[in-house]
Amino acid sequence: MAGALVVLGAGHYGWALLMAEETWQVVGLLALAGMATIAAYKTGFVRRVERDWAEAEPQLNRLAFAVLIGLILVLAGSHFALLMISTVLLYFIASLGLNIQFGFTGLVNFAGAAFFGAGAYTAAVLGAQALIPPLLILIAGGIVAMAISLPLLVPIVRTTGHYAAVVTIAFGVLFRTFLEVNEILGGPQGLMVESMKLPGWDFYNAPNLFGFETSFYLNYALMAAGLAALVFALFRRLERSWIGLHMDAVRLDETAAACFGISVRKTKILAFLLGNLILGVSGALYGMMISFIAPASFTFSDSLLLVSIVLLGGLGSPWGGVVAATIVVLLPEKLQLLQEYRFLLFSILVILVLLFRPEGLLPRHLRNFFPNRRTGA
Amino acid sequence: MDFGLIAQYLANGILLGTMYALVAVGFTLFFGVLDVIKFSHGDVLMLGTFIGFTAWLGLEAVGVTNPWLQLAGVLLCSLAGTALIGAAIANWLILPLKRAPQLNTLLITLMLGTAIREAVRLFYPNGSNPKAFPALLPDASVEIGSFALRADSVILVVSGLALIGALNLVINRTRLGLAIRAVAQDEETARTMGINYTLVVLATFAIGSGVAAFAGIMNGLYYNEINFGMGLILGLIGFSAAIVGGLGNLYGAILGGFLFAGLQVVGSALLPFASAYKDVFAFAVVIALMAWKPTGLIPERSSDRV
Amino acid sequence: MSEPLLEFRNVVKRFGGVTALDDFSMTLAPREILGLIGPNGSGKTTSFNVLTGIYGPSAGQVMFEGRDITGADPRAVYEAGIVRTFQRSRLCLSLSIYDNIMIGDTARLTRGLWSNLISRRGLEKQLDMTRRTARDLVATFSAELADRMDAPVGSLPMIERRRIEICRALISGPRLLLLDEPSAGMTHDETHQLMDDILAVRARGEGLSIIIVEHEMGVIERITDRCIVLSYGRKIAEGTYAEVAADSEVQNAYLGAD
Amino acid sequence: MKFNTRKSLRAVVFSVGTSASLLAAVAAQAKDTVELGFIGPLTGGVSSMGLGGRNSAELAVQLRNADPNSKYHYELVALDDECKPNVGVQVATKLATDRKVVGTIAHYCSAVAMGTVDVYHRFGLPMTVWGAVLPDITYGNDYPEITRVNGTMINQNEKAASVMTGLGYKTFAIIHDTTDYGKGHNTYLTQFLTEGGASVVGAFGVTADQQDFTAELTQVKALNPDVVVYAGLTPGGVRVRQQMEKLGIEAVFEGVSGIKSDAFFEGLGGELAEGTMTFLEGAPAEKLPGGAYFLKEYEAAGFDSPPEAYGPFAFAAMDLLIDAVEASGPDRKAIVEYMGGVKEHASITGPITFDDHGQNTVALITAYVAQDGKWVVWEDSEYASGARKLVAPK
């Protein structure tokens, strides 16, 4: 019950936050969230939610998805709200990719935006050819992101910690500078991206829903929601599999993992490629939705945004990722009211969260291989 | 390529290398004592330079016009102020996070860097525009063919190298240095030896930040221009240099700094009309180096006991 | 004595200028319990690290069940049936007891992407089986612990962690178990209890050999069949505990070291 | 030195100020409120341009609200595009889908404008560019919603090439940043210089935030050109000029519109800046009666950052937008139609006439030279009169 209440409440809260326009409304909503959290801890409500989640996870997941779809449909006519929902969802998907890399396996990746951008650029180039069906372009975006990460495999596998960080930072800078200095991919001016098309349906058109004129972003919001659910399920299955267990072992102690037959190299390679694949796919859809991309959108600071989603949410925690993606994407937007002061405020806010919740907003729980099923022990 | 051109590249490489090394040394010191990367280092450097600039404005205002006196004042204020800021950051943001995952420190300091940068941009008078940093050093120069050797560059390089040398002495020859090395080696043992752990960490951050402020002032004196974004790129390069050289090792940082400067200069010399590719070149070499030497050119002693 | 299970032939390991293992040779018979003793820095743990493939030896040969495993990587060593514990417990503290022990069973668990992510039937079966084995194993050490298999290891006291480390090593049914200072961080009584448990486990299965590195001489005396004493990387004595304890060179080495 | 609190109080002071100066306007609340948008980079590297534009637009709104004859009460909705296309699309969508907003002026960064024009077109929001100079923004589409008051970089470079070659300079070295801005200038300037019979002896791409240009300038020195051009924004321009001096390069320093800012002198000091040439669209603000008025009012409003080079355009664009609302009512379609017919419309930057792509064709380009720490219109300068001399052609 408590779990269902939280899911429904979160849906309403999301709606209110998207609709909030005035400063006092945004501040009020943030204060409300803070107070509700404190109250939930004080009254033991949190524990009840956790218990519900442990007992009925699949049902609650389905409910959450239904609430998300409901939210999207309620806002079907509101372009901007749908754009924001889709952006949150796509950043969330990207953060799951990163989470496989450093939430599970401990591989730091400070070039997330580069792989995200690789997907978007793939969508731009392939979309312009009109030879490949757009649905396949999404996958192609992932594959290209994976392919450009191949040269990094050797240094990534051999280095650890900060040394690995430098490899990815260097790659991120290199990627962006490369896009800027040559004209092949539009140079600094960027490229147009064709919209998503399914057979018989161009996402450029606004769907007609029971006679109501809706926003064309409805297409993207629904598709992003579907993709998010799919990647979420994959992410959960990965976590709850031997591969996920091995990734944890590699993150927590490479030497011990190797002594128990786990191939550290293969595990890292798998995590790096799989993560970049997901980053690329989400980037491709993002590119199609935004319809115009340029190197300036895939900089080091954009990579940092992705990293901060993972850390704010809690390493390896997908639900934390949802909350963090909402904060990281929506908050600067809501802070537009503060104009030039908003980044200062945003960075201070992130520092405070990390100081007081170093494990992230919703820390990851212990592994439960098959939720909803009592494993015979 | 004629001699003048080569000499010019060489002089430029040495100056850049000294500057990068000074920044990288900070990263490596912090990593040594606390195993953390303080990413706001570059922005602290920028803040230090602005403190120095403000000090100069103040000195001008009260009528001190002798450039050497001004320089002394600028350096004093900047180094002391930045050292204090470095220690404060260590005390309130980094030490409390000692038990948290390393990545958190990285992100917090990155965000702190953003906050410092934005604060200077917004609150320093007209901070979003570049400022003219005064040329306080003599501007004489010796012409050797087409190569102009400038007195200020020589002074900057010599004093920068001297500072690195002095730092090396402090680390290797003084009680404080001994304490820093002890803490770097093993915190627990250092504590049981009666070393005031917190004090040593704060001192290290103060020293590292002060050295960075020196690099910032050097930057200002050489380019005669400072701006709120100068720390970002210097920090990134300093960090890369420290890593490529090998963390936790003074010589590694110096080597990395000069290596990076060398790469940039060579990159733009070899790619004469495509010098925009020089960063692509420098960072590609960094990636290759990491693949070849995954723990840096001068690797740290493996602390991973099995 | 039949063919040895394990054999070190003139193994040398150098780190820079330091020779951690110097021309070290030894054999281990099936089902034997061998004690490896010596002062700090005498090369005991290094021999484990060379054996388990963490370091390659600088010279010499390591044979296991008649096969040359010199310089094999840790994974191949594990698959050959050699497992170990670590001096400083190396468990995944944020994971549950189950998870930690199941990490030890890698060899039997499916690794394919398909069976892990898509069709999870096999995974489910393996999970049930491995969990049952893990639980049974833990139950032989402590029935109480076996009831809390979902607790994170970080929440447990040292002795329980040590037990779980040993369970992680044993779950794959190895041929050779390497124990690196199992008594570290534990009381005298706890150590004895632990040794009893190990012997009990060994009595159940067939053909488990053990090499134990230990400072606690009581443990060595009680459970080992034979001892090897190392000093500065060299073997200085070999025999039963009583024999080596009486050896004058051994006494010098210890006294000299202290 | 100003204090921080002052700045944060600014917004409050303004609103209080405007309403106080306008006791009549209290009654004017009877007027309907009309919301107008502004988009520009308010954070990050080029934020000084964005803030100057924002302040100028705000000034246009304030001045009109103070006018008792205006039909509506105007409110400015200012949004930050961070100079990133994806953020630009986001904020453009926000504005364009907000029914209360009837028109906007937007964008300093060309890549952002390129990404957002589709959004404005799709939602039918009239948008007037106030700073971005890439020709394709207006010429790359047929959207009636998109107009631009400032000239494109084509006009600017055509004038630059003719002025410089007219002064007898033959060899040019171009250092440009690798943003669309710098690269575009490089392309067009090279084209017009070559057509004018001069030659570009070297072109060097640099990153926008590059600190050290010694490597590039060392090669420039070897090439020994008459003129060193920097195509980029003020910070880079300051550094290049500074480091030219360090290396002892004797050549005329020429910039593009991006360095025509007060910050150029603040960053460089008057002496080194002396004799720098640059070009900017529009008539010099201080020469037109409206321009002088703008500068006076800007000063009076007490903004804490200068209007910068494109502030007058932001003001002119906003003023034009308000004129459109006054003339045809707060209706997007009507405003688009009005904009389509703008001819010889008086503005502080000179008359505005839109061609069929919405581009202001009265592309008056003014040449400036740095003289005694100020930008002086070339024709009025002591350099043009011969009292001072630029570095002579070789």
Q: How many domains does chain B have?
A: 1
The answer to ipTM > 0.90 is: no
Cα B13 to Cα B21: distance, rounded to the nearest angstrom = 12
B157 contacts chain D (CB < 8 A): no
pLDDT 10s digits, C170-199: 999 899 999 998 888 788 888 888 888 878
Nearest Cα residue to B21 out of B146, B136, B230, B167: B167
Q: How many domains does chain A have?
A: 1
The residues near B123 (Cβ < 8 Å, ≥ 6 apart) are D4, D7
What chain D residue is nearest to B273 in terms of C-alpha separation?
D204
Out of C94, C123, C131, the one facing A377 most closely (by C-beta) is: C131
**Domain-located, residue A313:** yes
| Cα Rg, chain D, nearest whole Å | 21
The beta-strand segments (E) located in chain D are: 32-40, 72-80, 101-106, 127-129, 146-148, 171-177, 199-206, 227-231, 252-254, 277-281, 365-371, 374-377
Mean pLDDT across chain D: 87
Residue A300 has pLDDT above 70, yes or no: yes
The residues near D348 (Cβ < 8 Å, ≥ 6 apart) are D285, D288, D290, D291, D293, D294, D312, D315, D316, D319
Contacts of B276 in chain A (CB under 8 A): 177, 180-181
Interface test with A, best of B279, B281, B303 (most A CBs within 10 A): B279
- pLDDT at position C192: 82
User: In angstroms, what separates the C-alpha of C63 from chain B's closest C-alpha?
Assistant: 22
pLDDT 10s digits, B247-281: 878 889 999 999 999 988 888 777 765 666 777 88
What chain B residue is nearest to C85 in terms of C-alpha separation?
B306
**Domain-located, residue B277:** no
pLDDT 10s digits, C117-141: 888 888 888 999 999 999 998 998 8
Q: C1-81+174-258 falls under which CATH superfamily?
A: P-loop containing nucleotide triphosphate hydrolases (3.40.50.300)
Instruction: For chain D, report the end-to-end CA distance as a whole number of angstroms.
Output: 45
- Between the alpha carbon of residue D304 and those of residues B126, C252, D48, D133, the distances in Å are 7, 82, 11, 26
Amino acid present at A33 = A
Do residues D87 and D81 make contact, with C-beta atoms less than 8 angstroms apart? yes
Q: How confident is the model at residue D258 (pLDDT cuts 50, 70, 90)?
A: confident
Cα A293 to Cα D199: distance, rounded to the nearest angstrom = 34
Residues of D with CB under 8 A from a CB of A: 8, 42-43, 47, 51, 54, 78-80, 83-87, 89-91, 93-94, 96-98, 109-112, 114-116, 118, 123, 134, 136, 178-181, 183-184, 205, 207
Residue ranges of alpha helices (H) inside B90-196 are: 102-123, 151-173, 175-185, 187-192
**Domain-located, residue B208:** yes
User: In angstroms, what separates the C-alpha of C46 from chain B's closest C-alpha?
Assistant: 9
What chain C residue is nearest to B304 in terms of C-alpha separation?
C88
Contacts of D211 in chain B (CB under 8 A): 219, 223, 230, 233-234
* Inter-chain residue contact A257 with C103, CB threshold 8 Å: yes
Contacts of D136 in chain A (CB under 8 A): 189
| Cα Rg, chain C, nearest whole Å | 19
Computed from CA positions of residues B186, B188, B193, B195, in that sequence, does the dihedral angle turn out positive or negative?
Answer: positive
Task: Tell which B residues from 204 to 243 touch D, by Cβ distance under 8 Å.
Answer: 219, 222-225, 227, 229-230, 232-234
Do residues C21 and C12 make contact, with C-beta atoms less than 8 angstroms apart? yes
Residues shown for chain A: 377
pLDDT 10s digits, A327-367: 889 888 887 777 778 788 888 888 888 888 888 888 888 88
Amino acid present at A94 = A
Contacts of C52 in chain A (CB under 8 A): 259
User: What is the helix, strand, coil percentage profile of chain C, to 5?
Assistant: 45, 25, 35
Nearest Cα residue to A97 out of A343, A257, A229, A272: A272
∠ at Cα D37 (D36, D41), nearest 5°? 155
**Domain-located, residue B185:** yes
Chains C and D touch (3+ CB pairs under 8 A): no
User: In angstroms, what separates the C-alpha of A362 from chain D's closest C-alpha?
Assistant: 28
B292 contacts chain D (CB < 8 A): no
Neighbours of chain A (3+ CB pairs under 8 A): B, C, D
Out of A249, A252, A377, the one facing C149 most closely (by C-beta) is: A377
**Domain-located, residue A338:** no
Neighbours of C133 (CB within 10 A): 19
The beta-strand segments (E) located in chain B are: 131-132, 141-144, 147-150, 225-226
What chain A residue is nearest to C79 in terms of C-alpha separation?
A261
What chain C residue is nearest to A274 in terms of C-alpha separation?
C113
Cα C142 to Cα C167: distance, rounded to the nearest angstrom = 11
Out of D203, D209, D246, the one facing B229 most closely (by C-beta) is: D209
* Inter-chain residue contact D178 with A291, CB threshold 8 Å: no
Do residues C190 and C159 make contact, with C-beta atoms less than 8 angstroms apart? yes
* Inter-chain residue contact A340 with D180, CB threshold 8 Å: no
Amino acid present at D30 = A
* Inter-chain residue contact A358 with B284, CB threshold 8 Å: no
What chain B residue is nearest to C44 in terms of C-alpha separation?
B306
Give the range with max mean pLDDT: A272-281, C218-227, D83-92.
A272-281
User: What is the helix, strand, coil percentage profile of chain B, to 5?
Assistant: 75, 5, 20
Do residues B3 and B143 make contact, with C-beta atoms less than 8 angstroms apart? no
Contacts of A83 in chain D (CB under 8 A): 90, 93
Tokens 């290396």 correspond to D247
Identify the helix (H) or strand (E) that includes residue B136. none
- Between the alpha carbon of residue B196 and those of residues A313, B180, B202, B203, D383, the distances in Å are 36, 10, 10, 11, 67
* Inter-chain residue contact A261 with C107, CB threshold 8 Å: yes
- Among A255-259, B1-5, C217-221, D77-81, the minimum mean pLDDT is found in B1-5
Do residues D73 and D34 make contact, with C-beta atoms less than 8 angstroms apart? yes
* Inter-chain residue contact A188 with D85, CB threshold 8 Å: no
* Inter-chain residue contact A84 with D91, CB threshold 8 Å: no
Cα A97 to Cα A307: distance, rounded to the nearest angstrom = 11
* Inter-chain residue contact D111 with A336, CB threshold 8 Å: no
| Cα Rg, chain A, nearest whole Å | 21
Contacts of C49 in chain B (CB under 8 A): 306
The residues near B169 (Cβ < 8 Å, ≥ 6 apart) are B177
Each residue's pLDDT expressed in tens, for chain B with a length of 306 residues: 567 778 888 888 999 999 999 999 999 988 888 888 888 999 999 999 999 999 999 999 998 888 899 999 999 999 999 999 999 999 998 888 887 777 788 888 988 999 999 999 889 988 888 888 888 888 777 877 767 788 888 999 999 999 999 998 998 888 888 888 888 878 888 888 888 889 999 999 999 999 999 999 999 998 888 888 888 888 988 999 999 998 878 889 999 999 999 988 888 777 765 666 777 888 899 999 999 988 888 876 654 444
In this structure, which CATH number among 3.30.565.10, 3.40.50.10090, 3.50.50.60, 3.40.50.2300 belongs to the domain D4-151+285-363? 3.40.50.2300
**Domain-located, residue A355:** no
Out of A246, A253, A367, the one facing C96 most closely (by C-beta) is: A367
CB pairs < 8 Å spanning A and C: 100
Q: What is the DSSP letter of C106?
A: G
Out of B129, B132, B223, the one facing D243 most closely (by C-beta) is: B223
C54 contacts chain B (CB < 8 A): yes
Structure tokens at B155: 């002074």
B99 contacts chain C (CB < 8 A): no
- pLDDT at position D28: 47
The widest CA-to-CA distance across chain C, in whole angstroms, is 64
Contacts of C54 in chain A (CB under 8 A): 255, 258-259
Do residues A172 and A145 make contact, with C-beta atoms less than 8 angstroms apart? no
Contacts of B118 in chain D (CB under 8 A): 43
**CATH 3.40.50.300 placement within chain C:** 1-81+174-258
Give the range of the structural domain holding residue B24, as residue numbers without chain letter: 14-242
Interface test with C, best of A246, A260, A269 (most C CBs within 10 A): A260
What chain A residue is nearest to D8 in terms of C-alpha separation?
A341
Nearest Cα residue to A276 out of A125, A105, A127: A105
Cα D200 to Cα D194: distance, rounded to the nearest angstrom = 7
Nearest Cα residue to B306 out of C13, C159, C60, C79: C13
Residues C98-115, mean pLDDT to the nearest whole number = 88
Contacts of D203 in chain B (CB under 8 A): 273
CATH class of D154-281+367-385: alpha beta
Beta-bridge mates of residue C84: C178
- The residues spanned by each domain of chain D are 4-151+285-363, 154-281+367-385
Q: Is C11 left (phi over 0), alpha (psi -120 to 50) or beta?
A: beta
Chains D and A touch (3+ CB pairs under 8 A): yes
Neighbours of D142 (CB within 10 A): 11
Residue D22 has pLDDT above 50, yes or no: no
Residues D184-209, mean pLDDT to the nearest whole number = 91
- pLDDT at position D218: 86
Task: Tell which B residues from 19 to 58 touch D, by Cβ distance under 8 Å.
Answer: none
Residue D27 has pLDDT above 60, yes or no: no
Give the range of the structural domain holding residue A151, as residue numbers without chain letter: 79-203+213-321
